[in-house]
């Protein structure tokens, strides 16, 4: 009877021959050695190994040993909670810029719309194009600056754009008229943040100029608060009064657009009089607090978790160094775990690090410098507590493990930033996996 293991034995034999050849003839190039191995395989009638045709989409395992879990049930619950706050008579923009604050726009955009959001908002045309390419047909507003020369792209992708200067308006109108179409625009008003936008005193005259451009449809007008996430709401209230006074003037001119919006996530919670015709939910959509002063109600839940699996576990003698620069040395006989996570994933190296992760429901501190693709953590205390730490064990960087948890807000505190940045800097190379709670 034929030996079913013969092909494997032959491959092992050929590999041993190559090893011997490497020792006896080191002058051979790597390419020559590989060619020689393939010739041996050909003589033994064994096909060289081929790549696994299974795609990451059909593979039940993430294509990397670190990944993000996106809970679309939590997302849907957050949309419902927002709808309960603002009511059914207002439009709800789901803000999915910056790859949905790092959560994955291709997942979050369609899921937010399915849960009850009316429109999407992004920063750039490229972000909107990604959503159109995955089948989103709902209205999408570009919140950022869009140059005048992108008029054809606005028409092609059927997008609404922020507008705050007449030259851009003329360029877009000319393109739209030539195509026999109109571009929807939202005029942005600077009511005191002094970022992008027209001064409120210049807006009434600007609207008269826009009325002479047949290629534009002024669908909306909006402003943005700079302090709605603070306990002191006086400046936000001053901004809101400036905006509502302007809306009254435009109404008298017969030029008030159908959609006036001002409320971001913080103002949705703290300034209900700012809800107007529509609201824009960004950070709250993801179950993250706008700020410590303006926290989310209990109905909201975080959407994102970040996990990994231990790549390797090592024992270190006292005094042995870890990672670049040898900045950390083992103070005693220690056990460390190597994680397949690095600063190229959005796991910061400096000046402040994540400090620790969760393994077996316990804190494991980072030791040594975070590398581009790897990080080392000290699991000595976990092992001394009687836990076994193995390669393949789950690691939690954001989320819950047993009774312990690390929130995006906690990471922001450790790294001296805000939760917005913690998730928004999570890189595209991290697989996003949809989960249901």
SS (H, E, C) 126-159: HHHHHHHHCCCCCCEEECCCCCHHHHHHHHHHCC
Check residue 20 and give its pLDDT: 35
CA distance 84 to 363: 37
CA–centroid distance for 360 within its chain: 26
CA distance 407 to 326: 30
pLDDT surpasses 90 at 362: yes
The active-site residue, picked from 181, 324, 343, 420, is: 324
- Least confident piece of the model among 44-53, 128-137, 268-277: 44-53
Specify whether 181 is catalytic. Answer: no
The pLDDT confidence band at residue 61, using thresholds 50, 70 and 90, is: confident
Check residue 119 and give its pLDDT: 98
Options 3.90.1640.10, 3.20.20.10, 3.40.640.10, 3.30.590.20; CATH for 66-286 is: 3.20.20.10
- Report the 3 state secondary structure along 368-430: CCCCCCCEEEECHHHHHCCCCCCCCCEEEEEEEECCEEECHHHHHHHHCCCHHHHHHCCCCCC
Nearest Cα neighbor of 262 from 254, 271, 253 is: 271
pLDDT surpasses 90 at 17: no
Check residue 52 and give its pLDDT: 38
The pLDDT confidence band at residue 117, using thresholds 50, 70 and 90, is: very high
Task: Report domain extents, the chain.
Answer: 6-43, 66-286, 305-406
Q: What is the pTM of this model?
A: 0.85
Specify whether 307 is catalytic. Answer: no
Q: In whole numbers, what is the pLDDT of the chain averaged over residues?
A: 90
pLDDT surpasses 50 at 38: no
Which residue has better confidence, 9 or 196? 196
Beta bridge partners of 358: 363, 396
pLDDT surpasses 90 at 33: no
pLDDT surpasses 90 at 28: no
CA distance 237 to 267: 10
CATH number 3.40.1350.10 is the correct assignment for the domain at 305-406: no
Helix, strand or coil for residue 262?
A: strand
Question: What Cα–Cα distance (Å) separates residue 71 from each residue in 134, 402, 436?
Answer: 19, 18, 5
* Contact assessment for residue 338 and residue 360, using Cβ atoms and an 8 Å cutoff: no
The active-site residue, picked from 97, 286, 307, 343, is: 97
Percentage of residues of the chain with pLDDT beyond 90: 85
CA–centroid distance for 236 within its chain: 28
- Give 401-419 pLDDT, tens digit per residue: 999 999 999 999 999 999 9
Check residue 34 and give its pLDDT: 40
Check residue 173 and give its pLDDT: 98
Check residue 285 and give its pLDDT: 98
- Least confident piece of the model among 49-63, 139-153, 405-419: 49-63
What does the block give as tokens for 181?
């179409």
Check residue 200 and give its pLDDT: 97
pLDDT surpasses 50 at 110: yes
What does the block give as tokens for 304?
């994102």
pLDDT surpasses 60 at 349: yes
CA distance 296 to 300: 7
- Give 373-403 pLDDT, tens digit per residue: 999 999 999 999 999 999 999 999 999 999 9
- Give 419-429 pLDDT, tens digit per residue: 999 999 999 99
Check residue 60 and give its pLDDT: 59
* Contact assessment for residue 419 and residue 288, using Cβ atoms and an 8 Å cutoff: yes
Check residue 437 and give its pLDDT: 82
The HSE-up count of residue 1 (CA atoms within 13 Å, CB side) is 2
């Amino acid at each position: 009877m034929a030996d079913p293991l013969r092909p494997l034995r032959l491959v092992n034999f050929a590999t041993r021959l190559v090893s011997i050849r490497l020792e006896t003839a080191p002058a051979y190039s790597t390419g020559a050695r590989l060619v020689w191995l393939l010739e041996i395989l050909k003589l033994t009638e064994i096909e060289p190994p081929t790549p696994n045709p299974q795609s990451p989409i059909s593979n039940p395992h993430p294509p990397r040993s670190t990944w993000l879990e996106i809970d679309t049930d939590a997302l849907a619950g957050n949309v419902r909670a927002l709808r309960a706050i603002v009511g059914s008579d207002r439009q709800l923009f789901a803000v999915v810029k910056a790859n949905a604050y790092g959560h994955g726009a291709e997942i979050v955009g369609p899921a937010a719309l399915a849960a009850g959001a009316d429109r999407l908002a992004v920063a750039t045309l490229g972000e909107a194009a990604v959503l159109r390419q995955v089948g989103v047909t709902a209205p999408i507003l570009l919140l950022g600056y869009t140059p005048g020369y992108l008029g054809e792209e606005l028409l092609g992708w059927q997008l609404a754009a922020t507008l705050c200067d007449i030259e851009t308006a003329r360029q877009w109108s000319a393109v739209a008229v030539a195509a026999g179409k109109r571009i929807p625009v939202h005029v942005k008003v600077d009511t005191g943040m002094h970022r992008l936008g027209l001064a409120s005193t210049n807006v009434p005259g600007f609207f008269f100029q826009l009325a002479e451009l047949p290629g534009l449809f002024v669908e909306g007008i909006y402003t943005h608060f700079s302090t709605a996430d603070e306990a002191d709401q006086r400046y936000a209230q001053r901004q809101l009064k400036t905006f509502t006074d302007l809306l009254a003037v435009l109404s008298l001119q017969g030029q008030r657009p159908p959609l006036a919006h001002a409320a971001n996530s913080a103002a949705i919670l703290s300034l209900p009089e700012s809800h107007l015709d529509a609201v824009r939910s960004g950070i709250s959509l993801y179950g993250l607090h706008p700020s410590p002063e303006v926290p989310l109600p209990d109905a909201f839940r975080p959407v994102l978790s970040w996990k990994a699996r231990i790549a390797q576990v090592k024992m270190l003698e006292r005094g042995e160094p870890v990672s670049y620069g040898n900045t950390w040395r083992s103070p005693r006989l220690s056990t460390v775990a190597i994680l397949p996570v690095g600063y190229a994933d959005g796991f910061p190296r400096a000046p402040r690090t994540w400090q620790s992760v969760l393994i077996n429901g316990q804190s494991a501190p980072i030791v040594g410098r975070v590398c581009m693709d790897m990080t080392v953590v000290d699991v000595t205390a976990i092992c001394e507590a009687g836990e076994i730490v193995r390669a393949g064990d789950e690691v939690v960087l954001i989320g819950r493990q047993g009774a312990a948890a690390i929130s995006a807000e906690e990471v922001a505190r450790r790294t001296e930033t805000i939760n917005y940045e913690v998730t928004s800097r999570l890189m595209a190379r991290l697989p996003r996996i949809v989960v249901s709670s």
